[in-house]
Amino acid sequence: MTEPRIYPLGDSALVCEVPPPATLACQERIWALAQAAREWAHVVEVVPGMNNLTIVFDPLCADMDALAREMAQAWDRAIGASPSTRQVEIPVCYGGEHGPDLQVVADHARLSVEEVVRRHAGAEYVVFFIGFQPGFAYLGGLDPTLHTPRRDAPRLEVPAGSVAIGGAQTGIYPAASPGGWQLIGRTASTLFDPARNPPALLQPGDRVRFTIVEGA
**How many other CB atoms sit within 10 Å of the CB of residue 211?**
10
Q: What is the pLDDT of residues 4-39, one digit of tens each?
A: 999 999 999 999 999 988 888 888 899 999 989 999
**How many other CB atoms sit within 10 Å of the CB of residue 61?**
9
Could you tell me the end-to-end alpha-carbon distance of the chain, in angstroms, rounded to an integer? 47
Instruction: Report all structural domains of the chain as residue ranges with CATH numbers, in order of start.
Output: 5-77 (3.30.1360.40), 87-212 (2.40.100.10)
Q: What is the pLDDT of residues 64-103, one digit of tens each?
A: 999 999 999 999 888 766 666 789 999 999 999 999 999 9
Q: Is the pTM of this model over 0.85?
A: no
In total, the chain counts a number of residues equal to 216
- Given a contact cutoff of 8 angstroms between Cβ atoms, the answer to whether 154 and 178 are in contact is yes
State the number of CA atoms in the 13 A half-sphere of 56 facing the CB: 5
- How far is it, in rounded angstroms, from Cα 171 to Cα 184? 10
